[in-house]
Structure 1
Amino acid sequence: MTLELNQVTTIFLAIAVFVIGSYLNSKIKILDKYCIPAPVVGGLLLAFILTTLRGFDVVNVTLDTSLQSLFMLVFFTTVGLGASFGLIKIGGRLLVIYWLACGFLALVQSAIGISLASLLNLDPLIGVMMGAVSMEGGHGAATAFGTTIEAMGVEGALSIGLAAATAGLVAGGLLGGPIVKYLINKNNLKSDEELELADSKSTSSFSHVAAPITSRVFMMQLFVLGFCMAVGSYLGEWFTGVTDFALPNYVSAMFVAVIVRNVLDKFNDSIIEMKTIGIIGDITLSIFLSMALMSIKLWEIADLALPLFLIIFVQVAFIALFGTFVLFRLLGKNYDAAVMVGGFTGHGLGATPNAMASMDAITSRYGHSQKAYLVVPIVGAFLIDVFAMPIILTTINMFS
């Protein structure tokens, strides 16, 4: 029997998943101790239940997750509205370092996948699917390149890529928080965000007294968000059509939001009310990630052979060690660096929203990091493709 849930029921389940995850975090010490995001806890629990029901032929539940992209679009637009040109200048060097590190990661992930696949007598193209394609590329790249590789005669490439992307998404959600917590405790790190904002003229909108959150204030923020999303969506489509370089609408909307934020600040820095924007961002991120995690098809991971699990394990181990002992030092060994390592772990193994959720779980306890919230989504959602795509295409052509 198949049970198809509509949009409304799916959104309700996503909210319920977040509430349940929050409750479990408050009751289970190990979850709270290692800062596991509530959507990850609740989402994986529901995914396991749905997989069990399917496995015992009780019921096959399908979810209508068509609104995931909308929640993601809203969230990244709120990230853009929280940025300023002054803060971009502050994070400029860090952005370049982080970007280069992501490029290096794509190269190493491809090398690990191909070399271990060859060692285990698997087709090297299977290794390509278990490398940067499914790790940094996530489900989107796994779907696109999996179809291409299957057309080359490699059976199961798409399923293997999706399973690897799912495993990476889960690992990224589970590892990000604990790694950052370890770095914070070991190095006794604290957020100095308030001092930096006070010293920067470009962040004056953070210093004024926040207006009460009324319906009028809320609607004004929705108006600005809607404008940025609409313009950004059309801009992304136009850019893709002109250059043949895919620009996701949430990335273009985020860039439009950055521009809008800074233009408005020149005239009236009280138009953007960041407390309201922050609440909207928290809600949309939680719902999106809950929907993504609870709809994961865990049976795709269960179908993987032992050699494929081994490759995933090595990928996860490498990014954890590289982030903890190398990238953290390159980024400055401070609180911002630790939070960015959490983001690096999240999108390096699965998806940028995963990275944002890991950072949110940390910053909600230890303090905000504007640098991390600026650098990670810009690089993880868009700039990484500048390195990753040529590497992926080159390795596919090498072994085709």
Structure 2
Amino acid sequence: MLIIKVGMFQTLALAVVAIYVGKFIREQFPILKKYCIPAPVIGGTLFAIFTTLFHSFELFSLQFDYKTINTFFYNLFFAAMGFAASTALLKRGGKLVLIFSLLAALLAILQNILSLGIGISFGMDPLVALMSGSIPLTGGHGNAAAFAPIAEQMGANGAIEVAVAAATFGLVAGCVLGGPLGRGLIKKHQLADAPLLKHCVAEKRGTPFTYPELSPY
């Protein structure tokens, strides 16, 4: 089978192409926009399906040089998330933030119990089983990339592959399920603010709308 090695810049170029393909498909199928399915998820999922088919039929396989740039983008992502947070925002959330944090911690514990239980019942290494628990599903790819090599150093072969696969599955599942669920909750409890509602109405009618607070005039 032909193995094609894709360099750092080619990997970035393919990622950009996948995003724009997803954006184009999202524009063609309003149901995807209606249920808030992100363009990167659409394009990335299609790319993953096609590359898997090519590999399964032994046409060719792609090897990506992602290790050179993943640390940089992880740091960039988490730095951007940090800049978006503030003490004022936490104070405004108040009790709800505390409740959410406690529920998230409880969910992480349950994820670990479930992953260990299922893994051990199938005779897997507990460390490998743990790589499909809260480390990738709550922490995402950043946590997976940080903890999986430590597990491999402790003798858990395949921990990196399992952790990255679980994080990817969690990310895609979260985007596919989270968009429609979030839209349903916003609609049910009427949580959308006035400017957003006006924007949605204008978009539906095909007329332009600008947010007053963002307008330079």
Structure 1 residue corresponding to 2:185, chosen from 183, 186, 202: 183
Structure 2 residue corresponding to 1:165, chosen from 158, 164, 167: 167
Which position in structure 2 is the counterpart of 1:44? 45
Question: TM-score normalised to the size of structure 1?
Answer: 0.42
Residues 196-241 of structure 1 show CA distances to partners (whole Å, capped at 9, x for unaligned) of xxxxxxxxxxx977659xxxxxxxxxxxxxxxxxxxxxxxxxxxxx
Which position in structure 2 is the counterpart of 1:24? 25
Aligned equivalents of 1:86 and 1:150: distance in 2?
A: 41
CA contact (8 A) 1:142 1:158 kept: yes
SS at match of 1:61: strand
- Where does the alignment leave 5 or more consecutive residues of structure 2 unmatched? 197-211
One-letter amino acid of the structure 2 residue matched with residue 99 of structure 1: S
SS at match of 2:36: coil
One-letter amino acid of the structure 2 residue matched with residue 138 of structure 1: G
CA contact (8 A) 1:114 1:124 kept: no
Aligned equivalents of 1:163 and 1:121: distance in 2?
A: 18
Which position in structure 2 is the counterpart of 1:290? none
- Where does the alignment leave 5 or more consecutive residues of structure 1 unmatched? 195-206, 213-400
CA contact (8 A) 1:17 1:46 kept: yes
When residues 73 and 208 of structure 1 are mapped into structure 2, their CA distance, relative to the original with a 3 A threshold, is farther
Q: Which has the higher contact order (CA 8 A, sep 6+)?
A: 1
Aligned equivalents of 1:148 and 1:57: distance in 2?
A: 33
When residues 72 and 181 of structure 1 are mapped into structure 2, their CA distance, relative to the original with a 3 A threshold, is same
One-letter amino acid of the structure 1 residue matched with residue 61 of structure 2: N
Instruction: For residue 109 of structure 1, report the CA deviation from its aligned partner.
Output: 0.6
Structure 2 residue corresponding to 1:113, chosen from 112, 115, 125: 115
Aligned equivalents of 1:96 and 1:179: distance in 2?
A: 22
Instruction: Count the aligned residue pairs.
Output: 200
Aligned equivalents of 2:161 and 2:136: distance in 1?
A: 11
CA contact (8 A) 2:74 2:142 kept: no
One-letter amino acid of the structure 1 residue matched with residue 16 of structure 2: I
RMSD of aligned Cα (Å): 3.4
Aligned equivalents of 2:142 and 2:74: distance in 1?
A: 15
When residues 161 and 208 of structure 1 are mapped into structure 2, their CA distance, relative to the original with a 3 A threshold, is closer
Aligned equivalents of 1:101 and 1:16: distance in 2?
A: 38
When residues 44 and 104 of structure 1 are mapped into structure 2, their CA distance, relative to the original with a 3 A threshold, is same
One-letter amino acid of the structure 1 residue matched with residue 23 of structure 2: S
Aligned equivalents of 2:65 and 2:119: distance in 1?
A: 35
Which position in structure 1 is the counterpart of 2:134? 132
CA contact (8 A) 2:141 2:168 kept: yes
Which position in structure 2 is the counterpart of 1:197? none
Instruction: For residue 81 of structure 1, report the CA deviation from its aligned partner.
Output: 5.0
Q: Identity over aligned residues, as a percent? A: 34
Residue correspondence of structure 1 range 211-230 to structure 2 within 5 A: none
